[in-house]
Amino acid sequence: MESLYQSTLAPIKKTLYSGMLSRFTQPTDQHMLLLQLLQKEPILSLQILSRDSGQVYTFRVFLSDDEANDYLRPFFHKSYISMDSISSDRTFNKIRTLLLDCEANHSSCILGRSRDLPSLPNRVLEILNEEEELTIRLHISESEERGSYAALSYCWGGPQRFTLKSMNLNSMVRGIALTILPRTILDAITVTRKLGMRFLWVDSLCIIQDSAEDKIHEISEMGDIYKNANITIVAANASTVEDGFLLERPPPELCPIPIQLGPNVSGTAYLDKYGFDHQIDEFDEPLFRRGWAFQEFFLSPKILLYDSIKVTFTCPNHSFKGVHSNLAEYDYPAKPALSKVLYSFSEEAVVIRDHFLSHDWTQLISKYSSREFSNFEDRLPAIAGIAKIVSRKWNEDYVAGIWRRFLVHQLAW
């Protein structure tokens, strides 16, 4: 098998080398020497030496997952790239598969199962297809009414042109015209509907914005709202609610190289110009600079994140991964400490608790302090949801950003 593998890899190297000469090099750089095709999981890479300059160029090599045939697939291992739209039916099918896998196979991903349905928030948007027409209305939840729902995390980006207020509450219960909703909320409705879910929680449309009493009460419940959501839709790339997040992303800068190994064996390889430096950092996205988004992110067990490149998914069992294969490496903040706090029931609970309260909490507050707020007085309320849930789980006293049992240590920090 090894000799067959090597004999087939040789013509792949040759055709990639020929393609590189015609596509990537300048006339003065035609004296190029193929060093090696690195077969290292999960990325296939091509190294070429310029005889003129002595410089070694390294390019990642991908095969389109749409046209990867059974013959070529073993030689590219996991080096595939998807050309699918983020709003295509194939993309939503993959997202549904990820969610079903969570519910069926992940011990930590308990939300969404029928026997564990959480209580609905006091108000949610109800998404209905009545007589093949999309209908949106405000749903007032009954006491202890349970159901699966999505929550939206997004940037307001300034005053909102349409929100829930005391005077329009009854009309919103009857129905909400799609034409008055901003793009980001319309996109969230699309995602929720495509995932087969009926309810969506959006703060601007589920909290009475001109009622101080309602705002205080609902903000105190926000930690549980995001913690109990079956999925949180994170519109990370949208700076304002008017931007939307389902817009098509620019295609990656790739160089297509035809592969022809015989009359019935062909395909297209793609060489990545970025080498190994194409990385997405959390602060590249507008939402991750906003203070209120911090606890929404950390409390949500399952996240569907729309960034500037692609759509990614995470759950308590897995760190972020692209729904489709793509070039970018992800450097979003991991949530292992808090995930253990919220979802662990192991014998190590006491160790996890003390380490989190004494050590991880100060790191969490350090990251939180770098976030931006339109109103400075929001800084304590915007992290109170995390504190409330941790305090309730372990019966610990929380005082203005500090845990009483570690008061001296955290004041000294």
pLDDT tens digits, 163-177: 999 999 999 999 999
Chain CA centroid to CA 225, Å: 18
Residue 5 scores a pLDDT above 50: no
Q: Is residue 35 part of a domain?
A: yes
pLDDT tens digits, residue range 208-223?
999 999 999 999 899 8
Q: What is the pLDDT of residue 45?
A: 67
Residues 312 and 169 in one domain: yes
290 vs 145, 233, 283, 373, CA distance in Å?
32, 16, 10, 6
pLDDT at 81: 67
Residue 213: inside a domain: yes
341 within domain boundaries: no
Whether 38 is in a domain gets the answer: yes
* β-strand partners of 398: 403
Which pLDDT band holds residue 38 (cuts at 50, 70, 90)? very low
Q: How far apart are CA 10 and CA 34, in angstroms?
A: 11
Residues 41-89 have pLDDT tens digits of 445 666 666 666 667 666 777 766 655 455 566 556 556 666 677 888 8
* 395 shares a domain with 323: no
> Is residue 229 predicted with pLDDT exceeding 90?
yes
Positive/negative CA dihedral, 403, 406, 412, 413: negative
Within-domain flag for 278: no
Q: What's the pLDDT tens digit per position in 340-350?
A: 555 554 445 55
Pairwise CA distance, residues 301 & 230, whole Å: 8
User: Do 56 and 134 belong together in one domain?
Assistant: no
CA 157 to chain centre: 20
Amino acid 25: pLDDT? 47
Longest dimension (CA), the chain: 76
Count structural domains, the chain.
3
Which pair of structure tokens corresponds to residue 362? Answer: 């100060």
pLDDT of residue 347: 47
Among 402, 63, 406, 113, CA closest to 259:
63
Asked if residue 145 and residue 40 are part of one domain, the reply reads: no
End-to-end CA distance of the chain: 60
Assess if residue 155 is contained within a domain: yes
Q: Are residues 327 and 362 in the same domain?
A: no
Q: What percent of the chain has pLDDT over 90?
A: 29
Taking all residues of the chain, what is their mean pLDDT, rounded to a whole number? Answer: 76
The CA distance from 140 to 163, in Å, is 16
Distance CA 42, CA 327 (A): 12
Residue 335 Rama label (left phi>0; alpha psi -120 to 50; beta): alpha
The helix/strand count (H/E) of the chain reads as 13, 18
- Domain assignment present for residue 340? The answer is no
Q: What domain range is 380 assigned to?
A: 346-412
**Rounded average pLDDT over 252-261:** 67
| 192 and 98 within one domain | yes
Both 307 and 159 in one domain: the answer is: yes
Q: Would you say residue 39 lies in a domain?
A: yes
- Give DSSP secondary structure letters for 344-386: --STTHHHHHHHIIIIIHHHHHHHHTTSB-SSGGGTTHHHHHH
pTM of the model: 0.79
Contact 158, 240 (CB under 8 A): yes
297, 312, 335 - which closes a domain: 335
Both 58 and 137 in a single domain?
no
Q: What does the block give as tokens for 104?
A: 């069926």
Pair 265, 298 in one domain: no
